[in-house]
Homo-oligomer: A and B are copies of this chain.
């Protein structure tokens, strides 16, 4: 990262996003990665890991609402939820807005991410004290492999891209283990990268999920700090198609949502033509 009061992320050595920094609040390395938190001019506090923007107070609502609510507003049951990654606490916050959720396990491999987020990003992780939440510092791949079969309603993968610590989350063995851990009819949702900036990774991820799940549907929106491009998440279940949205679930979270609503729930699944062609 070049740093002259700007924090920057560079893609393909050809495209760069920079945010003006007021102050570095935190910068430490764990055995897994370098974790930094910046206070910025217009993006609030920003979490950066290994030189990649992870989230900011200004735009995190887009990412966290879209990772969570398409699954949680349509899955047949949502009592038992597992989050892999998600150490900033934003995904857990959105999950725990649903009164039907009875228990959430957040499984983050890197303690440093959780500690930095709890201390410096309290506006993102507002649900750390919810008694329904269990935080486990351990490897998500092993955790999923060891879950009892058919024990979980919804699994959310809130990971970085498939390089570094998250690499093991994007292969056939892991998705097969997710399928096994889910109850029949359970739903998996994950962030799945940018089809514009990383088309091959996006396409390969769709294909590997389809080895274990019958319904695999990517959906799309823009998270400003994520490479300035269309981003994707993916919804998967053992059914043939997505479950229809459940308006009553939306009713219980509507007031707090800044991005998600029932029109957005369906609209985000419309794929641009170039993405359709990529997936053919």
- Residues of A in contact with B (beta carbons under 8 Å apart): 6, 12-20, 40-43, 59, 61-62, 196-197, 221-222, 224-225, 227-230, 257-261, 263-264, 266-274, 276
Q: Is B276's CB under 8 angstroms from A259's CB?
A: no
Number of copies: 2
The 7 closest A-B pairs by CB, nearest first: A267-B270, A228-B228, A222-B222, A14-B41, A267-B267, A14-B42, A263-B270
Q: Is A225's CB under 8 angstroms from B224's CB?
A: no
| Set B15, B43, B257: member contacting A43, Cβ < 8 A | B15
- Smallest beta-carbon distance A191→chain B, Å: 16
Q: A229-B224, A259-B273, A270-B267 are in contact. Are A13 and B20 (CB under 8 A)?
A: yes
Give A9 to B53 CA distance when docked, in angstroms: 19
Most buried by B among A13, A16, A276: A16
Q: Is B17's CB under 8 angstroms from A42's CB?
A: no
Q: Is A266's CB under 8 angstroms from B270's CB?
A: yes
Chain B residues with Cβ under 8 A from A15's Cβ?
A: 17-20, 42-43
| Set B61, B230, B264, B273: member contacting A270, Cβ < 8 A | B264
| Residue of B with least CB distance to A6 | B16
- Smallest beta-carbon distance A255→chain B, Å: 10
Chain B residues with Cβ under 8 A from A62's Cβ?
A: 272
| Set B17, B40, B225: member contacting A14, Cβ < 8 A | B40
Give A273 to B62 CA distance when docked, in angstroms: 10
Known: A12-B41, A196-B224, A224-B227. 6 other contacts (CB 8 A): A6-B16, A14-B20, A16-B17, A224-B229, A227-B228, A264-B270
| Set B40, B197, B258: member contacting A273, Cβ < 8 A | B258
| Residue of B with least CB distance to A257 | B273
- Smallest beta-carbon distance A116→chain B, Å: 23
| Set B13, B20, B228, B261: member contacting A17, Cβ < 8 A | B228
Give A15 to B264 CA distance when docked, in angstroms: 27
| Residue of B with least CB distance to A222 | B222
Give A42 to B227 CA distance when docked, in angstroms: 14
Give 27 CB contacts A-B under 8 Å. A12-B42, A13-B20, A13-B41, A14-B20, A14-B42, A15-B17, A15-B18, A15-B19, A15-B42, A15-B43, A16-B16, A16-B18, A16-B20, A17-B228, A18-B18, A59-B196, A61-B274, A222-B229, A224-B227, A224-B230, A259-B274, A261-B270, A261-B273, A264-B273, A266-B267, A267-B267, A267-B268
